[in-house]
Amino acid sequence: MIDTRTPDNFEWRFVLVAVGILAVGVISIYSVAPGPGPGGQAPLYAKQLAWILIGTLAFLAAIAIDYHKLARHAYVLYAVMLIILALVLVMGKSSRGAQRWFSLGPIAFQPSEVAKLVLVLVLAKYFADAQRYGWVQRVIVPGLLTLPGILLILKQPDLGTAMSFTFIFVSMVLVSGLHAKALGMGVLFTSMLFPFAWELVWTSLHDYQRERILTFWDPMIDPAGKGYHALQARIAIGAGGLLGKGLDEATQSRLKFLPEGHTDFVFAVFAEQWGFIGVLVLFLLFATLIFLASEIAFKARDPLGLLLAAGVLSTLGFCLMVNVGMTMGIFPIVGIPLPLMSYGGTTTVTSMAALGLLLNVKRRRLTLFY
Partner 1 sequence: MSKFTTQHEDFKNLQRRLLYLRLGLLLGLLFLSVRLWYLQVVKGDYYRALSEQNRIRTVDLKPARGLIFDRHGELLANNVPSFNLYLTVEDIRDREGLAAALEDLLGLPRAETKKRLALQARSYVPILVKAGLTLREAALIEGHRLDLPGLRIQAESQRNYPQGSLGGHLLGYVGEVSPEQQDEPAFAGLAQGSMVGKAGVEKTYDRMIRGTAGEKTIEVDARGNERKTVGVVEQTPGDDLYLSLDMRMQQMAESLLGEEAGAVVALDTTNGDVLVLASRPTFDPNTLSRGLTSAVWEQIVTDPRHPLTNRALQGQYPPGSTFKIVVASAALESDKWSSDTKVRCTGAFQSGNHTFRDWKKGGHGVMDMDQAIVNSCDVYFYNIGHRLGIDAIAETARWFGLGQPTGIDLPSERVGIVPSTEWKQRVRKEPWYAGETISVAIGQGYVTVTPLQMAVATAAVANGGILYKPRLVRAVRERATSRLREIPPQDRGTVPLQDRTFTLLHEALHGVVTRGTGGRARSKIVEIAGKTGTAQTVGARPVQTGTSHEAVPKQFRDHAWFVAYAPADAPRIAVAVIVENIGHGGTFAAPIAKALIEEYLKVSDTDDRHQNTGQF
| Alpha carbon distance 256, 32 (integer Å) | 8
Contacting range for partner 1; rule: CB under 8 A; set: 54-62, 139-147, 187-195, 229-237: 229-237
* Closer Cβ to partner 1, 156 or 360, answer by number: 360
Q: Which one among 225, 246, 365, 367 touches partner 1, defined by CB under 8 A?
A: 225
* Closer Cβ to partner 1, 239 or 355, answer by number: 239
Q: Buried (b) or exposed (e) across 143-165, using 16+ Cβ within 10 A?
A: bebbeebbebbbebbbbbbbbbb
283: contact with partner 1 by CB under 8 A: yes
CB contact at 8 A, 361 and 14: no
Dihedral (C-alpha) 211, 339, 290, 21: value to the nearest 10 degrees?
130
Shortest reach from residue 251's CB to partner 1, in Å = 4
DSSP 220: G
Which residues inside 119-148 make contact with partner 1, applying CB under 8 A?
131
- Residue type at position 170: V
Neighbours of 368 (CB within 10 A): 5
Shortest reach from residue 287's CB to partner 1, in Å = 6
Q: Which one among 80, 147, 291, 365 touches partner 1, defined by CB under 8 A?
A: 291
271: contact with partner 1 by CB under 8 A: yes
Q: With CB under 8 A, what is the number of residues at the site for partner 1?
A: 53
Which residues inside 296-335 make contact with partner 1, applying CB under 8 A?
297-298, 302-303, 306-307, 310, 313-314, 317, 320-321, 324-325, 328, 330
Which residues inside 231-270 make contact with partner 1, applying CB under 8 A?
232, 234-242, 251-252, 255-259
187: contact with partner 1 by CB under 8 A: no
What is residue 95's three-state secondary structure?
strand
What is residue 109's three-state secondary structure?
strand
Q: In what order do the strands lie in the sheet with 98-104?
A: 93-95, 98-104, 107-109
56: contact with partner 1 by CB under 8 A: no
36: contact with partner 1 by CB under 8 A: no
| Alpha carbon distance 172, 334 (integer Å) | 22
Shortest reach from residue 170's CB to partner 1, in Å = 11
- Judged on CB neighbours under 10 Å (0-12, 13-18, 19+), 105 is exposed
Binding site for partner 1 (CB under 8 A): 131, 171, 174-177, 224-225, 232, 234-242, 251-252, 255-259, 271-272, 275-276, 279-280, 283, 286-287, 290-291, 294, 297-298, 302-303, 306-307, 310, 313-314, 317, 320-321, 324-325, 328, 330
